[in-house]
Chains A and B, each alone.
Chain A
Amino acid sequence: SYELTQPPSVSVSPGQTARITCSGDALPKQYAYWYQQKPGQAPVLVIYKDSERPSGIPERFSGSSSGTTVTLTISGVQAEDEADYYCQSADSSGTYEVFGGGTKLTVL
């Protein structure tokens, strides 16, 4: 079955830039989506179609794509950005959605 691979954890100091990667063989042909989830809450969409930002999401959140890897970048990280982040995409057929294993972002 198709898998998306994320690093389990990323740590940054406030004001620095955090980069979270997501790798998958079908990413060159399928869009990626990114979600932020804080403890006890439902996920929140922060990036769609690789690099688009929904309304209400701060400009410090951005996304990019290169080959089989997509990257969520958080510039000028704030304490409130500490959360789990998940990428989502589809398999090569476009039928089945998959989430990455999640990355815990720690703000030191």
Chain B
Amino acid sequence: EVQLVESGGGLVKPGGSLRLSCAASGFTFSNAWMSWVRQAPGKGLEWVGRIKSKTDGGTTDYAAPVKGRFTISRDDSKNTLYLQMNSLKTEDTAVYYCTTGCDYPRFDYWGQGTLVTVSS
């Protein structure tokens, strides 16, 4: 059974940093392209970014609102995906989901999400 479990959310002040983790199991993590998607309170889904598998280059791409501030990385030895968030803004307040699927950009599997609140 595929499982994605996010952690690391919490309250942070504007300008601060936070690192989210996503522990994966039930599939071959090293072969998967992984993404982060967020959802602000009462709002819609927003794609944050994606990291390819190392065999496909391991490259990352980011949505415009987070480019230059957020960094996605992976540790295939730990089956874990990360999202390093710097220079946080109040508009980054959201539930952050990690997601993957059978064939990118198909998102079959989602974690339960972790809430990040950016507030003074």
Measured CB to CB, the residues of A under 8 A from B are 1, 33, 35, 37, 42-45, 48-49, 54, 84, 86, 88, 90, 95-102
Q: Which residues of B contact A37 (CB under 8 A)?
A: 45
A88 to B106, CA, bound (A): 9
Is B29 part of the contact surface with A, judged by Cβ < 8 Å? Answer: no
Number of interface residues of B (CB under 8 A): 20
| Chain B contact residues, majority secondary structure | loop
Number of A-B contacts (CB under 8 A): 50
Residues on A with beta carbons closer than 8 Å to the beta carbon of B63: 96
Evaluate contact between B108 and A54: CB separation under 8 angstroms.
Answer: yes
Contacting residues of chain B (64-114) with chain A, CB-CB under 8 angstroms: 64, 97, 101, 105-108, 110-113
Instruction: Choose one: B35, B106, B112; the contact of A42 (CB below 8 Å).
Output: B112
- Chain B residues with Cβ below 8 Å from A102 are 44-45
CA of A84 to CA of B39 in the docked complex: distance in angstroms?
A: 13
Q: How many Å lie between the Cα of A42 and that of B98 in the bound state?
A: 10
Contact of B108 with A97 in the complex, beta carbons under 8 Å? no
Query: What CA separation (Å) do A86 and B113 show in the bound complex?
Result: 17
Specify which chain A residues have a CB less than 8 angstroms from the CB of B44 in the assembled complex.
84, 86, 99-102
- Report the minimal beta-carbon distance from B42 to chain A, rounded to whole angstroms: 11
Q: Is A35 a contact of B45 with CB atoms below 8 Å?
A: yes
Q: With the chains together, A43 CA to B100 CA distance in Å?
A: 12
Q: How far is the CB of B102 from chain A (nearest CB, A)?
A: 8
> Smallest Cβ distance from A1 to chain B, in angstroms?
6
